[in-house]
Amino acid sequence: MQKRALGRSGIEVPPLIFGGNVFGWTADQATSFRLLDACVEAGLNAIDTADVYSRWVSGHAGGESETVIGAWLKARPGMRDRVLILTKCGMEMPGRGSGLSPAWIARAVEDSLRRLGVERIDLYQSHQDDESVPLEETLGAFARLIEQGKVRAIGASNYTAPRLKAALEASAKHNLPRYESLQPHYNLMERGIEADLLPLCREQGIGVIPYYSLAAGFLTGKYRSEADLDKSPRGRRSAAKYLDARGKRVLAALDEAAARHGATPAQVALAWQIAKPGITAPIASATSVEQLAELVKAATLALDAGTVAALDAASA
């Protein structure tokens, strides 16, 4: 599986990154271990998580996903050298802290390192912008972590184009590490980054690793009618907004492309992202080894220019 450079970090990731938000939530520890084993075996060796996963679940406090990954690494001697760990800080950890102040970053990284059971995080990302803290202070805190060997490279998530540009300028002005990646919301139904963020990242050589790559499951073709929205808890909460004329047009284009390529709509939706200039690797998750096998096929599915253009037009 061909690797792709993540900005100028020296880190190379597969064309698809596995989303670890499911670990300890919709995938219990045993299932998570099977998924992680299968990821490595298939060549999807980059795992994205965050300190806050899965705080939203009743009885959870955050850190559950990192804890499961840490337990898996402990149970698999030698595995740490075979995987890339991508995690984040900045969102609220109830009763503990939030934001991108140097003090909180210093505490948050130690918590993540402890839960993961590792000495270094490959990509440490600002989960969301924090305009209350000067950019140079946040970047200075990350610089210290890199100097200490606790972090290999840094990235940003959920930044606007002006704020990402300002962060890059602050890095250059103060001789500080720069964000080497951006993790934005992007898929066939959410193409807003194409206006300004994606051009900026291409111009600056920033890796782009989008989340919600399957639009909360909508792009799998699971939700095609109002009745379908009750198939899962995410249906009415997250996918209902896509079930309009445009959404149905996109599903029809996915169906046509899937039939032509002998693939599934989900595989085509991910392959469309992989084919887009400037996109390094979309993030997608699965809760079973069978679902993971479908994602693996997407990583090697090559769409022709006509198919990409048809999907562009349908989702315009």
Residue 53 scores a pLDDT above 80: yes
Q: Report the chain's C-alpha Rg in angstroms.
A: 19
How much is the pTM?
0.96
Sort strands 12-13 and 4-5 into parallel, antiparallel or unpaired: antiparallel
pLDDT number for residue 228: 80
pLDDT number for residue 200: 98
pLDDT number for residue 75: 98
Average pLDDT, whole number, for the chain? 96
Share of the chain above pLDDT 90, in %: 91
Residue 234 scores a pLDDT above 80: no
The per-residue pLDDT for range 180-214, each reduced to its tens digit, is 999 999 999 999 999 999 999 999 999 999 999 99
What angle (nearest 5°) sits at the alpha carbon of residue 170, between those of residues 167 and 172? Answer: 115
Residue 217 scores a pLDDT above 80: yes
pLDDT number for residue 88: 98
For residues 188 and 311, is the Cβ–Cβ distance under 8 A? yes
- Residue 212 designated active-site: no
Q: Residue 115: CB partners within 8 Å, gap ≥ 6?
A: 51, 63, 66, 67, 69, 70
Task: Report the pLDDT averaged over residues 28-36.
Answer: 97
Task: Report the pLDDT averaged over residues 237-248.
Answer: 91
For residues 18 and 39, is the Cβ–Cβ distance under 8 A? yes
Catalytic residue among 53, 186, 211, 242: 53
Bond into 58 cis (ω within 30): no
Sort strands 17-19 and 283-284 into parallel, antiparallel or unpaired: parallel
Residue 147 scores a pLDDT above 90: yes
Q: How confident is the model at residue 15 (pLDDT cuts 50, 70, 90)?
A: very high
For residues 166 and 203, is the Cβ–Cβ distance under 8 A? no
Calpha distance 226→243 (Å, rounded):
8
pLDDT number for residue 233: 67
The per-residue pLDDT for range 88-121, each reduced to its tens digit, is 999 999 999 999 999 999 999 999 999 999 999 9
4-183 belongs to CATH 3.20.20.100: yes
Domain-by-domain residue ranges, the chain?
A: 4-183
